[in-house]
Amino acid sequence: MNLNFDVLEDSCSGYLEIIRQINPQYDVDQIETAYRFAWNAHRNQKRKSGEHYICHPVAVSIICAEQSMDSTTIIATLLHDVVEDTPITIASISDLFGETVAKLVEGVTKISHLHVEDKATQKMETYRKILLTTAQDIRVIIIKFADRIHNLRTLDHMSPEKRKSIADETLNIYAPLANRLGMRNIKIELEDLSFKHRYPDDYEEILMIISASQHQRDEIIESFRIPLVTELFNAGLDAQVFGRSKHFYSIFQKHRNRHVPYSEIYDLLAMRIICSSREECYRALGIVHTLWTPVPDKLKDYIAASKSNGYKSIHTTVAGPQGHFMEVQIRTWDMNFLAEEGVAAHWRYKGIASETKLEDSSPIQWLRNLVEWQKEFSDAVEFYEFFKIDISNKEITVRTPKNKEISLPKGATALDFAFAIHSEIGIHCIGAKVNGTVEKPSVELQEGDVVEILHSFDKKPSLQWLQETRTPRARSAIKRWFHRTEKKGRAAIGKKLLYTSFNNLHLKRSLNSFIPVILQHYSLESEEQLYDRIGSANLEVRTVLEYVKKKNGYEPGASMNRIMNTLTGNAPKVSVNGMESVMVRYAPCCHPLPGDTIIGFLTNGRGIAVHRRDCAHAKIFAHDRERSVVLTWHDENVADMKSKITIQGTDRVGLISAVTDLIEKKGVNITELHCSTAGQRAKITVELEVKSLNQLKKLKRDLVHINGISRVTRDEL
């Protein structure tokens, strides 16, 4: 890239010419605007090499252009460092280039609001941010990969320690992530560039060996390729055969893992057969095994059972007549394209004749699962450890009895499988049927196993489970269970302490009548939290009782007429003991509706709280005659009131749209909607505005008739 970055006009015209040559369809006007903006933003900045800083975003944008990314990505790539390295804000980017560009730039911008001493945490938070934004737009990680590739290509001006650090990070995080997303070409370049800086002596040795034996390797490949091409042609197969050598880092890994010299690594050569159909792939496999002797245990059929990153291909290794080994990969053109480009192929060519759409592809589902899983972790450090293990482990694929594939790290147990299905299944696991044989929860699973989890609701986890699980998701769920159990134990102790001490005061009123004011005074959200604070010694019983004695002058059993005269509020909707009430509030825990059987409770200064009689919170105070009041609906023709429902069913394209369309068709307003998926299951929680219980019941009946929906329930809490 020979551009004169000293002069804006010269560099801009030269850059745009390169962009036009790569793709004449680009929006050159917008790209030019972005280029000029970036050039001015970075005009006084230099790289370690002494080059103008603008050369970096320009090079990164060209890498993205060579990957056939769209104009929006090119613009975002030109701007990807301006927020991080200049005073320019995301808001300014959004105003000038639109919200999509701004979101892409924000997605790749490091988190910098943490303290300097928290550099490690800051980096982990940045990883989490990149992954979560990638789940929303895959272009974020493509920009980040291009950014990392150019940094590795120009790493020579860094100190040896910095080069080692960046190379290690790439080999541990970015290359495995590219592999997890199925982007083999990106993975290989990241690995080989990092290998060069991390292990320079080994890199030079392999480079010399490969260069010295190039002619010999070409001859070996041709000795396999020519007879194979002939046999494929004679069989009437429309297939092409390509020979190649393994990339440098792959050779280094074989050397390190097998503890043998480079000269004794024989399986450095590979051939790829590209066929027109799946059926032809299997016919080609038969021809390969007819020509040469297959090596035992080296046949892998990733077409029948694809890898978790969506990779599909047949792998086999054969031995030729002169003792040379050759790895052979067999796949279709679509499989090959997706194997090389991964999720980028889906984005770049939305019309690709692929069996799987981008939103349904395994890598995207994995990213979406990360979004859900990250909610289970207490901080970025815990999430980072989970993520690093998840992308680095070799995988096995096991199946449920209904033939659903579950990907797990090698060495995973039946317990890991149980937690991968659902946390509650894991918590109550007592064993598993593996290929029809009953096994212990700790049994290690193998590739292709069919697993059925056995569970009992009487079963509870043990600390030993932490030693018998391999997946961070399982271990995290087990730890959370123990934490919740310990918390319940503390709460039980705290409750007993408070009630016992309160009874010694011999007050006329019950403790329940003081609970709401105690919670309000100590800014607590629930009784459970109050009892937990006491049980864990974070709140002294003595302090609580002193406050109770101060509040003892308040008499909630005063006459209803006096209360009615002092409270003011909205127009009545319920009747209290046959009289119209004035100040009521409808409890958000159970969302009572006209038609529900209701009960009311006096609250301190907040009037009467209206609950459904079957509400769990209402049952706590139902026995307190001094606070409870009899309520009936005064007027059932009221304005819209809030209610919540949960819809469960099988996940499919268009499910949310079908639900919202029906609700709107029935004249019901949606105020809030949340959707989550777990495997093939979907859960949709909707907050609605309805006029009555009868209207809600009719809506529930109609929703159940939507294809894929199995259950609709009204939320209590």
pTM: 0.59
| Phi, psi torsion values for 158, nearest 5 degrees | -85, 165
- Average pLDDT for 235-244: 90
What distance separates the 2 farthest-apart alpha carbons in the chain?
Answer: 105
Consecutive H or E run containing 104: helix 99-108
Say what the pLDDT of residue 572 is: 39
- Average pLDDT for 114-122: 58
pLDDT at 605 over 50: no
- Average pLDDT for 417-438: 93
Say what the pLDDT of residue 471 is: 83
Q: Does residue 99 or residue 219 have the better pLDDT?
A: 99
Q: What is the CA radius of gyration of the chain?
A: 33
| Phi, psi torsion values for 441, nearest 5 degrees | -60, -25
Say what the pLDDT of residue 573 is: 60
Told to judge if 66 belongs to the known catalytic residues of this protein, a careful annotator would answer no
Told to judge if 84 belongs to the known catalytic residues of this protein, a careful annotator would answer yes
pLDDT at 115 over 70: no
Q: Does residue 144 or residue 380 have the better pLDDT?
A: 144
Say what the pLDDT of residue 384 is: 75
Hunting for tokens 């004679």 — which residue is that? Answer: 234
Q: What is the mean pLDDT of the chain?
A: 82
Say what the pLDDT of residue 378 is: 60
pLDDT at 265 over 70: no
Say what the pLDDT of residue 113 is: 45
**Distance between start and end Cα atoms, the chain:** 62
The one-letter amino acid at 178: A
pLDDT at 570 over 50: no
Hunting for tokens 């310990």 — which residue is that? Answer: 486
Closest C-alpha among 225, 209, 312, 186 to residue 268? 209
Among 27, 32, 85, 231, which one carries the catalytic annotation?
85
Do 237 and 281 meet the contact criterion of CB atoms below 8 Å apart? no
Do 310 and 338 meet the contact criterion of CB atoms below 8 Å apart? yes
At 268-282, the pLDDT tens digits run: 788 999 999 999 999
Closest C-alpha among 143, 37, 25, 144 to residue 96? 37
Say what the pLDDT of residue 281 is: 96
Among 66, 84, 447, 635, which one carries the catalytic annotation?
84
Range with the poorest average pLDDT among 146-150, 245-249, 600-604? 600-604
Say what the pLDDT of residue 73 is: 94
In which band, very low, low, confident or very high, does the pLDDT at 207 lie, cut at 50, 70 and 90? Answer: confident
| CA torsion through residues 99, 103, 109, 112, sign | positive
At 347-393, the pLDDT tens digits run: 555 444 444 455 556 677 777 777 766 666 666 776 777 777 677 76
pLDDT at 114 over 60: no
Say what the pLDDT of residue 679 is: 81
In which band, very low, low, confident or very high, does the pLDDT at 526 lie, cut at 50, 70 and 90? Answer: confident
The top-scoring range by mean pLDDT among 390-399, 404-413, 666-675, 703-712 is: 703-712
- Average pLDDT for 170-190: 89
Q: Which residues are bridge partners to 328 per DSSP?
A: 271, 316
Kindly provide the residue ranges of all beta strands, DSSP E only, lying in 174-298, ordered along the sequence.
Answer: 240-245, 269-275, 293-294
Q: Does residue 605 or residue 5 have the better pLDDT?
A: 5
pLDDT at 90 over 90: yes
Say what the pLDDT of residue 368 is: 73
Q: Does residue 102 or residue 676 have the better pLDDT?
A: 102
Do 574 and 584 meet the contact criterion of CB atoms below 8 Å apart? yes
Q: Does residue 499 or residue 56 have the better pLDDT?
A: 56
Pull the structure tokens for residue 416. 């890991």
The alpha carbon of 690 is separated from its chain's Cα centroid by a whole number of angstroms, namely 34
Say what the pLDDT of residue 459 is: 87
Alpha-carbon gap, residue 449 to 457, rounded angstroms: 25
Q: Does residue 388 or residue 662 have the better pLDDT?
A: 662
Hunting for tokens 């979406």 — which residue is that? Answer: 368
pLDDT at 409 over 90: no
- Average pLDDT for 691-703: 88
Alpha-carbon gap, residue 544 to 192, rounded angstroms: 65
At 23-64, the pLDDT tens digits run: 999 999 999 999 999 999 999 899 988 899 999 999 999 999
Range with the poorest average pLDDT among 311-315, 413-417, 441-445, 471-475? 471-475
